Structures are given as C-alpha cells and as structure tokens.
C-alpha cells in the first residue's frame, strides 16, 4: 500500500555524497588485492573441468555451507531486506524464519541424497537423468538466461547505489566490479568463487555488525526502538506493535504493513517460493555439490541455516532503526530521505546509515562489505551460469564428446561472455527500467512451478518425463494467467498484471506474488500427476538413485551426532521456532 | 598442500584490523562524533585483528583445502561417469 508520509524529511537529491579518505581507499584496496590474489593462487589447481565447475568435489562442509548463504547474499539481501525492514518491520523476518530455514533443512535431509548421489553435475542434469532431454533443456535454457540477466540487474542496482551514496560514476563502478569478478572466476573457477564467498561472508558480518550496535544505541536500545516503532505503526494506521511483532498482526491483510494474511504467507512464501528457491536453484545447490562427501553435501544447507537464521539482526534491524529514527529523531539526527513522489527512499536505508554512523576507517570496511555483498551474489550467478552453459547446453547440444580440456576452456569463455552480457543488461536497465521488471516477472512464472516437478520426481516413482514437461509448461502458463487477471491495490494494468482485466485486487504486491506462486505450483502439481498417469512409466531399474522409494538411505550411524543431517535439521528447526515465538 | 582458505581470510582481517587499530590510536578523533563518541576504529579494529590472527593460526594446520579432482574420491567418480557416458573424450 502506498502511503504518503506526513513526516518531514529531506529529499534525496539534497544529500551530500559521503566523503572518503585515503584510509577508506586503502581498506578497499586491501580487499581487492586479497580477492584477486585468491583467484591467482588457485589458478594452478584448475586442471580438469571438474576442478573448475565442481571444485573437484573436495570441499569441507563448513566452507560450502558459508558459500551457500553468501552466494545468496546479493543485492536483494542487504539492500532489499534493509528496505523491507523499514517498510514492514520485523515481519520481514518471515523471509528467513519460515521462508528459508525449513526449506534449507528439507533440501539437506531429503533432496541432497539425489542431487549428490546421482552424480549429476548440475540441477538440469538431474532432470535429464530423472526425466528426459526436453525437461532438462527447458530448465537449462531458462536458468542460463535468468542467471545472466539477474547478475546484470544486481550490477545495475550497485551502480545506482554507489552513484547516489558516493557520487561515483556508474560506468566506472560497474566495470570495476565486473572485472574483478571476471578475473577471479576465470582463474580459479568455482573454488575461487566459493573461497571468496566465505571471505565476503565474514566481511559482511564484520562490516554491518557495528552499524546495528550504533543504530540501536542511538534509538535507545531495543525498548527505545520498540517505542519509536510504535509511533511509526500508529501514524501509518496500524496497531502499535505492527513493526515489532511478526505474527500477531497476520490475521488479515489489512492489519499489517505487508498486506498479506497468514495463509498466503505460509503457503506462498513459506512453501512454494522458499522451497522452490532453496531446493531447486542451481546457484545454491552447486555449492553443496562441491562438497567432498555425501554427508558433507547434506550438511551444507544445514550449516548455512545457522548464520542465515541470525541474518535478520544484521540486515533487517538497521532498516527498522532507520524508519524509527526518521519518525522520532535520535541524538544524531539520522533520517531517511524522500523520493519526489513523497514516499521514503527505503533502498537507501542501510547505505545511508553506513555513511551517517561510520567514521573514516570503519566507513571503508562498511562500504567494502556492501560491495562484497554485490560481488558474491554476482560471482554466484556467474559460476552457476558457466556450469549450466558448458555441461547442459554446450556439451549436450552443441559439442558432445570433446576433450576435458576443451570443456575447461569453454567454462572460461562462458565466464567472459556471461559477464559481458550482465554488463550489457545493466546498461539496458538504465534506459528501460520496465524491461527489467518484465523480465523478473517472466522468471517468476518459470520458477514458481519447478518445485512441484522436483517433489513429484523425487518422491513419486510413477512421474514421467512427459508429465514433468507438460506440468512445467502448465504451471508457467497458470502463473501468467493469474498475474494477468489480478492487480495489487492502486496499480494500473501493465507490468504489475491485470492485462486480461483485473478480476481480483490484492492488498499488496507481495500478496499478489505469493498467490501467483501458489497457483503455478498447484497447476504444475495437478497436471504432472494427470499426464504421468496417462503416459508410460520408466523402468524402475533406471530410477535407482533418483527416486526416494527406490534408493538406499545414506548411512549415517557411524557419524558422531553433530555430523548427522537429521539431528542438525531438528536443531535448526527448533531454533527457528524459538525465534518465531520470541518475536511473535 | 593446497591453499587453506583460512590463511587468506586470516591475513586479510589481520591487516584490516591492524590498520583500523592504528588509526584508532593515533588518527584524528573528531570523526568519532558520528559514531556517538565511540572510537569504533580502535575497538572493532582490535576485534578484527584477533579474529584474523585466530583464523590464520587455524589455517596453518591446513585441513580446509580444495583438492584436485584426481585426488578426491568423489571427484574421481564424476570423471568415471563422464567417460562412461561418452560426455567427453
């Protein structure tokens, strides 16, 4: 819901760029030296294509685990979650405590045995082994296009942000970021991307933690923050706890700033979108595939779940602090600026706080952390792209049976043109913002039904290739039709939907997105079952290792309890429940 | 022995931490108005330095490394699969 805020604030254009000193520049330089140095140091170890695309399947679980969340820490995470923290308050934690942790536990315990055990080298390749060529082709091509363009979109976001905050030239900042990612992925492949993701993970934690501390201190601690956020809530027309209680106001869409009720939230976000992303997106699954053993692969998402669960305190809390201080100023006078249309510039919440609270020195660390988050997200996209391109498109349809060295070379070439396309996409986005919105919408249509295909494929041996393929198409079409028949409140027909005429108005864009996902999943689920029943099933012998009921359970009784996936899954789920209750 | 990831991480945080710590001690103090009067460079630099040194020392034991495909059992299985299915020469 778009509200014009009555609170006074400065327009964004009047803010002066943050000034950096030689100390901040040296800190950034040190970071760049290490990031590139890792790539150079690993170059010698890239001897085969498996080294380059899968790190030789040799990494310990804690490394792949930290890379697992770091690759997902793109622009969406730090900037988007900070913005949502300001917009929706603590309810943003739903993206973590029900929108990530349960899915991460599920992929580790139930799905990883098939991804890792089948020796598939990518998610599309699993689809080829389980179903058929056309299902793999559909997934590989849509995924490849999607990752390259998403990395372009995040480059674009980074360029805009650095321009607004520091007055840096758009072209210079995106060229440098793209060149650095290019060099370290080109040289050291997935290992280099993963090593840097772990480094970036720690940098992001160290760069943002003092911000939360200073912001909270300025707002008068947690109790002071609660009191200020009560003002925010009541002035926006909600109950006083709407920004500090995550579940209490989810009874109906009208009573919380997210504009969604508990059912749409739990099914749309908690089930379809979250499981769809964490369980089927090769960007994250690739990290687990690089692990050195089955049990390490299964522990990867479970280890990742631990820091993931506490990320709301690092990225959402600053957004909440920013909006609280804007309504009721603290001693240091921090405020969120306004856009020309009178709404707040939510996306600038975290970057502006960095500029406001950090003195030179710490400022360098904070800005480096911000850049690190963009670069780790981009490297994640690039490594997923070069693998899917080389294995699932080039090796499968263009040049089969070449030498291993040839595929290694192709992986490096794919890294180069993947990044070039991303940069081009970032420029296109500066001219035609709507094209990017449109593309993201199309991606959402293609992605939403995937989960149903994987669940049926892994847990119902009767599912057939024709069923999977037609189900995926049906789900994608269902998503497009649903979007075409609905609109979020206050929007006009166009990118936001409603192009067939709006027969239902949702209280918010989030509500519309969640319900689109629910419709797509259901259509794919039902159609896949119906078509599968009407087509010839595959011989059960061919499905050993690919389907739950035909595969031996991985043995874990020799492992100590803290290495057993099932035990770890129960622990992270209980911890997530406790966090939900604390902030109920 | 290959590159243990904790070595570069430890080294980088030690360098950054030391930089902050030194400038927290001898640098201009007027900037700390922004950080509510707290010398964040000094304190956080110290934390980063300690973290960096600990990581570096752990890395010296050298167990957290990537290995070549031909040296890791799981990597070898992938190679075998690729040859068996005719995906590469």
pLDDT in tens, A406-436: 999 999 999 999 999 999 999 988 887 677 6
Given its phi and psi angles, is residue B62 left (phi above 0), alpha (psi -120 to 50 degrees) or beta? left
On chain A, the residues whose CB falls within 8 A of the CB of B23 are 23, 361
Which residue in B41, B67, B78 is closest to A362 by CB distance? Answer: B41
> How much is the mean pLDDT over chain B?
86
Please answer yes or no on whether B66 and A210 come within 8 Å at the CB atom: no
B interface test, pick of A20, A57, A217 with most B CB neighbours within 10 Å: A57
Q: Is it the case that residue B52 has pLDDT exceeding 80?
A: yes
Residue range A320-327: mean pLDDT, rounded: 91
* Rounded CA separation B3/A576 (Å): 35
pLDDT for the residue numbered B77:
82
Cβ-defined contact of B68 to A56 (cutoff 8 Å): yes
Of A579, A456, A421, nearest in space to A529 by CA: A456
Across the strands, what pairs with A11? A338
Q: What is the pLDDT of residue A433?
A: 66
Q: Do A358 and B40 touch (CB under 8 A)?
A: yes
Asked whether the predicted pLDDT for residue A6 surpasses 60, the reply is: no
Q: What is the pLDDT of residues A160-171, one digit of tens each?
A: 888 888 888 999
- Per-residue pLDDT, A8: 62
B51: which chain A residues are within 8 Å (Cβ-Cβ)? Answer: 202, 206
Distance from CA of B55 to the nearest CA of A (A): 11
Q: How far is CA A222 from CA A227, A245, A312, in A?
A: 9, 13, 14
Are the CB atoms for B52 and B16 separated by under 8 Å? yes
Q: What is the C-alpha separation between B45 and A398, in angstroms, rounded?
A: 53
Residue A506 — φ and ψ, nearest 5°? -90, 150
For residue A78, which of A350, A277, A415 has the smallest C-alpha distance?
A: A350
8 Å CB contact between A257 and A236: yes
- How many angstroms separate the CA atoms of B13 and A169, rounded? 29
Beta-carbon contacts below 8 Å between A and B: 165
* Structural tokens at position A231: 């003002």
Q: Which of A345, A269, A348, A326 is nearest to A521 (CA)?
A: A269
pLDDT confidence tier of residue A384, bands split at 50, 70 and 90? very high
A440: its two tokens: 């993201």
Q: Is B45 exposed, middle or buried (0-12, 13-18, 19+ CB in 10 A)?
A: buried
Neighboring chain A residues of B82 at a CB cutoff of 8 Å: 50, 404
User: How close is the nearest chain A Cα to the Cα of B44, in Å?
Assistant: 8
The pLDDT, as a whole number, for residue A377 is 86
Residue A76 binned pLDDT confidence (cut-offs 50, 70, 90)? low
- Reply yes or no on whether the pLDDT at A1 is more than 70: no
Chain B hits for A210, CB-CB cut-off 8 Å, are 35, 40, 44
User: Percent of chain B scored above 70 by pLDDT?
Assistant: 94
The arithmetic mean of pLDDT across residues A19-45, rounded, is 93
Substitution target from A35, A50, A214, A295 for chain B, most B beta carbons within 10 A: A50
Look at residue A335 and tell me whether its pLDDT is greater than 90: no
Q: Is the pLDDT of residue A243 over 60?
A: yes
pTM of this structure? 0.92
A465: distance to nearest CA of chain B, Å? 20
pLDDT surpassing 90 at residue B86: no
Q: B31 to chain A: which residues are within 8 Å by CB?
A: 359-361
**Which residues of B are less than 8 Å from A218 in CB distance?**
36
pLDDT, residue A558, reads: 81
B86 and A400 in contact by Cβ < 8 A?
Answer: yes
For residues B40 and A362, the answer to whether their CB atoms sit within 8 Å is yes
Query: A85-118: b or e for each residue (b if 16 or more CB lie within 10 Å)?
Result: bbbbbbbbbbbbbbbbbbbbbbbbbbbbbbbbbb
Highest mean pLDDT among A190-199, A425-434, A481-490: A190-199
Q: How far is residue A495's CA from residue A487's CA, in Å, rounded to a whole number?
A: 10
Give the rounded percent of residues in chain A with a pLDDT score beyond 90.
57
Check A37 against B8: CB less than 8 A apart: yes
CA distance B51 to chain A (A): 10
For the segment A114-137, what is each residue's pLDDT rounded down to a tens digit? Answer: 999 888 999 999 999 999 999 999
Nearest-CB residue to A361 (from B20, B70, B74): B20
Residue A559 above 90 pLDDT?
no
A169 three-state secondary structure:
coil
Residues in CB range of A263: below 8 A, 6 or more apart: none
CA A512 to chain centre: 19
Among candidate residues A131, A113, A123, A115, the one with its CA nearest the CA of residue A538? A131
Please compute the mean of the pLDDT values over residues A178-195 and round it to a whole number.
Answer: 94
Instruction: Assess whether pLDDT exceeds 90 at residue A66.
Output: yes
pLDDT band for position A4 (cuts 50, 70, 90)? very low
Query: How far is CA A109 from each of CA A57, A116, A284, A553, rounded to the nearest angstrom?
Result: 19, 12, 15, 10
Q: What is the spatial distance between Cα A541 and Cα A361, in angstroms, rounded to a whole number?
A: 62
Rg (CA), chain A: 23
Please report residues of A whose CB lies closer than 8 A to that of B36.
Answer: 214, 217-218, 331-332, 357
A2 falls in which pLDDT band (50, 70, 90)? Answer: very low
Residues from chain B that touch A125, judged by Cβ atoms under 8 A, are none
Distance from CA of A202 to the nearest CA of B (A): 8
Average pLDDT over residues B46-56: 95
Q: What is the mean pLDDT of chain A?
A: 89
**Residue bearing the bigger pLDDT, A142 or A74:** A142
pLDDT of residue A9: 67
Q: What residue of B is the nearest CA neighbor of A193?
A: B5
Cβ pair A569, A111 in contact under 8 A = no
Confidence of residue A188 (pLDDT cuts 50, 70, 90): very high
Query: Residue ranges of the alpha helices (H) in A394-508?
Result: 404-431, 433-447, 450-459, 465-485
> What average pLDDT does the segment A521-533 reach?
96
What is the ipTM score, two decimals? 0.90
Of the partner residues A27, A56, A210, the one whose CB lies closest to the CB of residue B66: A56
Name the more confident of A136 and A344: A136
Q: B-chain residues within 8 Å CB-CB of A59?
A: 66
As a whole number, mean pLDDT of residues B62-66 equals: 70
- Mean pLDDT along residues B6-23: 95
Chain B contact probe: residue of A54, A122, A359 with most B CBs at under 10 A: A359
Lowest mean pLDDT among A3-12, A84-93, A377-386, A436-445: A3-12
Query: For residues A290 and A64, is the Cβ–Cβ distance under 8 A?
Result: yes
B57/chain A closest Cα distance in angstroms: 16
Q: CA separation (Å) from A311 to A78, A82, A369? A: 10, 11, 14
Query: For A502-519, what is the mean pLDDT?
Result: 88
* Closest chain A CA to residue B24: A361
Handedness of CA A192, A197, A198, A199 (dihedral sign): positive
Considering only the beta carbons, identify the residue of A48, A58, A214 that sits closest to B36.
Answer: A214
| Average pLDDT value for residue range A56-80 | 86
DSSP assignments along B23-55, one per residue: HHHHS-SGGGGTTTT--HHHHHHHHHHHHHHHH
- Contact criterion met (CB < 8 Å) for B44 and A206: yes
Other Cβ atoms closer than 10 A to A222 = 11
Between these two residues, B28 and A241, which has the higher pLDDT value? A241
Contact B66, A55 (CB under 8 A): yes
Write out the H or E segment, with its range, that includes residue A435: helix A433-447
**Tokens 């789900």 sit at which residue?**
A475
> What is the model's pLDDT at position B1?
42
Angle A132-A133-A136 from CA coordinates, rounded to 5°:
95
Highest mean pLDDT out of A183-192, A245-254, A440-449: A183-192
pLDDT computed for residue A12 by the predictor: 66
Mean pLDDT of A86-112: 93
Distance (Å, whole) CA A360 – CA A357: 10
Instruction: Tell me the average pLDDT across A18-30.
Output: 91
Averaged pLDDT for residues A365-384:
91
Nearest to A216 by CA among A364, A318, A83: A318
Q: How far apart are CA B44 and CA A361, in angstroms?
A: 10
């Amino acid at each position: 819901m778009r509200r014009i805020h009555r609170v006074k604030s400065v327009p964004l254009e009047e803010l002066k760029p943050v000034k950096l000193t030689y100390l901040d520049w040296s800190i950034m330089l040190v970071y760049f030296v290490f990031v590139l140095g890792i790539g150079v140091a690993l170059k010698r170890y890239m001897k085969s294509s498996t080294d380059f695309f899968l790190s030789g399947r040799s990494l310990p679980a804690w490394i792949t685990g930290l890379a697992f969340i770091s690759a997902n820490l793109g622009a969406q995470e730090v900037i988007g979650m900070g913005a949502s923290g300001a917009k929706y308050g603590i309810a943003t934690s739903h993206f973590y405590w029900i929108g990530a942790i349960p899915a991460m536990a599920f992929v580790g315990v139930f799905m990883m045995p098939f991804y890792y055990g089948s020796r598939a080298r990518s998610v599309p390749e699993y689809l080829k082994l389980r179903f058929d060529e056309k299902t793999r082709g559909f997934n590989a091509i849509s995924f490849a296009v999607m990752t390259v363009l998403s990395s372009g979109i995040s480059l674009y976001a980074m360029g805009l942000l650095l321009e607004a905050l520091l007055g840096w030239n758009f072209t210079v900042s995106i060229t440098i970021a793209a060149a650095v990612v290019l060099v370290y992925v080109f040289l050291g492949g997935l290992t280099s991307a993963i090593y840097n993701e772990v480094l970036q993970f720690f940098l992001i934690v160290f760069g943002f933690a003092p911000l939360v501390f200073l912001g909270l201190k300025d707002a008068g601690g947690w109790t002071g923050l609660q009191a200020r956020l009560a003002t925010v809530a009541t002035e926006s027309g909600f109950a006083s706890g709407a920004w500090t209680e995550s579940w209490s106001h989810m009874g109906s869409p009208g009573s919380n700033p997210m504009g969604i009720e508990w059912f749409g939230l739990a099914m749309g976000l908690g089930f379809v979108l979250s499981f769809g992303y964490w369980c089927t997106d090769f960007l994250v699954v690739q990290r687990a595939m690089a692990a050195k053993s089955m049990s390490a692969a299964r522990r990867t998402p479970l280890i990742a779940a631990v820091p993931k669960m506490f990320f709301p305190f690092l990225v959402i809390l600053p957004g909440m602090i920013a909006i609280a201080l804007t309504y009721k100023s603290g001693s240091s006078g921090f405020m969120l600026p306004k856009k020309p249309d009178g709404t707040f510039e939510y996306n600038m919440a975290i970057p502006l706080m960095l500029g406001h609270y950090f003195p030179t020195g710490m400022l360098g660390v904070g800005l480096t952390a911000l850049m690190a988050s963009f670069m780790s997200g981009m490297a994640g996209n690039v490594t997923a792209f070069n693998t899917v391109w080389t294995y699932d498109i080039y090796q499968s349809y263009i040049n089969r049976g070449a030498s291993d060295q040839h595929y290694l070379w192709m992986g490096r070439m794919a890294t180069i043109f993947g990044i070039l396309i991303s940069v081009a996409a970032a420029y296109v986005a500066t001219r035609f913002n709507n094209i990017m919105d449109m593309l993201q919408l199309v991606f959402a249509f293609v992605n939403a039904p995937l989960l149903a295909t994987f669940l049926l494929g892994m847990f119902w041996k009767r599912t057939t290739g024709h069923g999977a393929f037609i189900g995926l198409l049906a789900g994608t079409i269902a998503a497009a039709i649903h979007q075409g028949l609905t609109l979020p409140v206050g929007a006009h027909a166009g990118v936001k939907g409603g192009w067939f005429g709006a027969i239902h108005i949702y209280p918010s864009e989030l509500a519309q997105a969640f319900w689109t996902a629910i419709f797509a999943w259901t259509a794919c689920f039902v159609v896949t079952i119906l078509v599968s029943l009407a087509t010839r099933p595959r011989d059960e012998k061919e499905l050993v290792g690919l389907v739950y009921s035909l595969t031996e359970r991985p043995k874990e009784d020799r492992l100590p309890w803290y290495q057993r996936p099932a035990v770890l899954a129960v622990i992270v789920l209980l911890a997530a429940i406790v966090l939900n209750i604390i902030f109920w | 022995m290959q590159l243990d990831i904790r070595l570069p991480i430890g080294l980088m945080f030690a360098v950054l931490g030391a930089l902050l710590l030194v400038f927290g001690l001898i640098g201009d103090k007027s900037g700390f108005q922004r950080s509510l009067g707290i010398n964040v460079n000094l304190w956080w630099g110290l934390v980063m330095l300690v973290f960096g040194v600990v990581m570096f020392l752990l890395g010296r034991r050298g167990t957290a490394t990537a290995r070549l495909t031909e040296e890791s059992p799981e990597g070898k299985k992938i190679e075998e699969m690729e040859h068996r299915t005719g995906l590469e020469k």
